[in-house]
Structure 1
C-alpha cells in the first residue's frame, strides 16, 4: 500500500522500480500487505553447533576463513565468539567459558555433510563439544531460542569486509574477550554463493563484493 492509500503489486514485470527498491532499500516505500517468496526445499539436515575454548579461536577462525570459500553451497556455516550459556543442556563444566563456535547446517545427504565437516575438524583442536547431527531444518532455526527469551533489550551492529587477515582475527578475538558475559557476542557470516551471481545493480544492496559480514 502506497502513501496515497492505493494498492499495487510489485514484481519483475510490474512496478519494477518499486520492486527494485524494496529488495534491500529499507522500509520507506509503503506498507507491504503480502509477500510471495521463492522457497528452496529443506527437510532433514546435518546441523548444529560446535564449541571450542577461546584459546583455540584464532586457529578455528583462520581455518574457517580458508575453508568456507571452497565449501559447497549446501553448507551454511558461521563463526560465533561468545560465552557458553550457563544453563542446560550445555555441559556444566563449560558454563560461562569464553568460546569460539561454528554453527550451521548442510542441506544434502547426511553422509556428505559428515564427511565435509570431518575434513575441517581433523585440522583443528578438539572441541569442547560437537552437537552437529541429523535434525529437521526447523530445529536448527529454533535451537537457541530458549536461551534468548523475549523481553531482552537487544542491540546489533555490523559491517561488511572484503578480507579477513590474521591481524583482523586477532583484534576481534581480543575485543570479544572484553565483552560482558553471557549474552554479548560476535558473529561472522560468509557472503558467497548465490548472492555473488546477482548483478550489483539488481537491487539496492551494495555489498555483493564483500567476503564476510560481522
Structure 2
C-alpha cells in the first residue's frame, strides 16, 4: 500500500495518522531521501525516519500530531541553513516546510505575508518588485524562519531594525498540533518569545512583516584591501562606522578574496580584508556615505556601485554554498579597541582553508533604539558582533576538519578578554552547549522564555534547536 508515495509501515508504526496529508512523505527507501535530508552544512549527516514535506499548515499540524502520538523526535526545517543542522533529526520526523515558499506583498499596506519555508531571496525579489524591502540576512539562500526567530541581522537593520523588529504577526503550530496566531494583540507572550527565542515554541508556518521603501537601486558592494593592511583598515573602519548614518549597513570580512565574477581573477584566493556596504537611501546619498571608505589606503578592488537590492543580497551566495563543511564560533565584542584590532589582524589569516573567514557586523542605529525587554532578542546595546567561520570541502574533511575547528576556537579564545556579554543565538554551532544559549539571552530574558516554553511546549517536544527548557 502507498500513501503519498510511501509504501507500507517501514517501522513507523503505521502511517494512518497521515492519511489526509497533501504533501510528500519520504523515508529511507525512497528516491531522493538523501537529498531531502541534506542541509546547508554538509558536515551534518542525520537520518530521520520520516521527512514530511508539507504543502500547508494542515500538513504541519498533522505531522506534529503524528510524531507526538508515536513518541518520535521532531525537527522543523525551513531553509535548513542553521550551522548546527537543527533542521534534521536522527530517527524522528522532519516537519519540512521547504515547499511552503509563497510570498504575498501588500504594496499599499507595506506588508508581506511569507510562508514558513521561504528563503530571503524569495522575499527580496517579491518585495523589490514594489520598491519595498525588510531586513533579511546577508545570504539570499538563508531561510526566513530560522533567521527571523533568532533575531535577524542584516544590512538594513541599522535603518529599519532587525527582522524581529519588523515582524507583525506569526502563524504557529504548537506541540499539541493546534494552530494559533501570535501578534501584539493575540497571544502576546508567544509573540514576544518568537522574536528572538528561536524554534522553541512551535513550527512557524507563516510570517507577516512590515516593509519599507527601498530602491529600485541601492549603493552597495564591497571594497577589498590586502591582508597586510588589516590593522590600518580596521582602525579607520572603527571611526568610519561610528560616524556612519543609520542608512549605512556594513560587514567586515577577513579571509581571502572570493572568486566573484566582478573581482579580477588574479586576486582570487588572496588574503584580504573587505568592508561590504549597503546604503538604505538614494544612490546619491549612498555615494556620499561611502566616499571616504573608497578613498582610504590602497584598495585591491572596489565593487561599490548602484545595484538592485535583491541582486546585492544574492551577490555573496556562492561564497557559502550548500554542502561545504562548516564550524562556527561567535561572540559580541566590547568594541574595536587597538587590542581587538590586533587580535583580529593576528588571527584572521591563520586558517588552513581558503574558504574560512571571519565576519564582523556593525549594529547600533535602529537596533539600539528598541527597548531591551521588547523582544526576546535583548542585546540592544551591542555595537559589534563577530562570527568565525571554518569552512572546507567534503573531500577535504580528513585534512581540514580538525585544523579549521582548532583555528576557529583559538581565534575565539584570543578575543576572550574583549567579549561583551552575550552571543547571537543564530551563530551558535552544534557543540555550543546550554550555558551559551543562556548567554545569548541573559538571565531575565531566559527565565521569561522558559516560562513561555512551559506554557506552549511543556514536554519540550521542540528541542532540536538552541534549546530553552521549560521552567
The match for 1:128 is 300
Query: Shift of the alpha carbon at 1:19?
Result: 0.6
Deviation of 1:29 (Å): 0.5
Alignment of 1:1-214 (within 5 A): 1-43=173-215, 44-86=217-259, 88-122=261-295, 124-214=296-386
Whole-Å separation in 1 of the counterparts to 2:334 and 2:211: 28
Distance 1:147 1:196, change over 3 A: closer
Shift of 1:77: 1.0
Q: Match of 2:213, SS? A: coil
* Cα distance in 2 between the residues matched to 1:146 and 1:187: 16
Paired residues in the alignment total 213
Contact 1:45 1:134 in 2 (8 A): yes
8 A contact 1:84–1:98 mirrored in 2: yes
1:88 positional shift: 4.4
Q: Any idea what SS the aligned residue of 2:269 has? A: coil
Q: C-alpha displacement at 1:93, in angstroms? A: 2.4
Deviations 1:187-208 (A, max 9, x none): 1101111111111111122211
Q: SS state of the match for residue 37, structure 1?
A: strand
Counterpart CA distance in 2 for 1:16 and 1:102 is: 39
User: Secondary structure of the residue that 2:193 maps to in structure 1?
Assistant: helix
SS in 1 for 2:377: coil
Q: Secondary structure at the match of 2:199?
A: coil
The Cα shift of 1:150 comes to: 2.1
Q: Could you tell me whether the CA contact under 8 Å between 1:69 and 1:192 is conserved in 2? A: no
State the 1:86 CA deviation.
Answer: 4.8
TM-score by length of structure 1 reads 0.93
Could you tell me which runs of 5 or more consecutive residues in structure 2 were left unpaired when the two chains were aligned: 1-172, 387-471
RMSD after superposition: 1.5
Mapped to 1, the partners of 2:257 and 2:347 lie a distance apart of 17
Q: CA deviation at 1:146?
A: 3.0
Flag the 1:133–1:207 CA change in 2: closer, same or farther, 3 A: same
Bigger radius of gyration, 1 or 2? 2
Task: For CA contacts below 8 A with separation 6 or more, give which structure has more relative contact order.
Answer: 1
Contact 1:96–1:181 at 8 Å: present in 2 too? no
Greater Cα shift, 54-63 or 155-164: 155-164
C-alpha spacing 1:23/1:193, structure 2 compared with 1 (3 Å): same
Shift in Å, 1:120? 3.1
Aligned to 2:469: none
SS in 2 for 1:99: strand
For 1:191 and 1:73, how far apart are their aligned partners in 2?
9
TM-score by length of 2: 0.44
Distance 1:160 1:128 in 2: 29
Mind listing any 5+ residue stretches in structure 1 that lack a counterpart? none
Cα 1:75–1:86 shift into 2, 3 Å: closer
C-alpha deviation, 1:87, in angstroms: 6.5
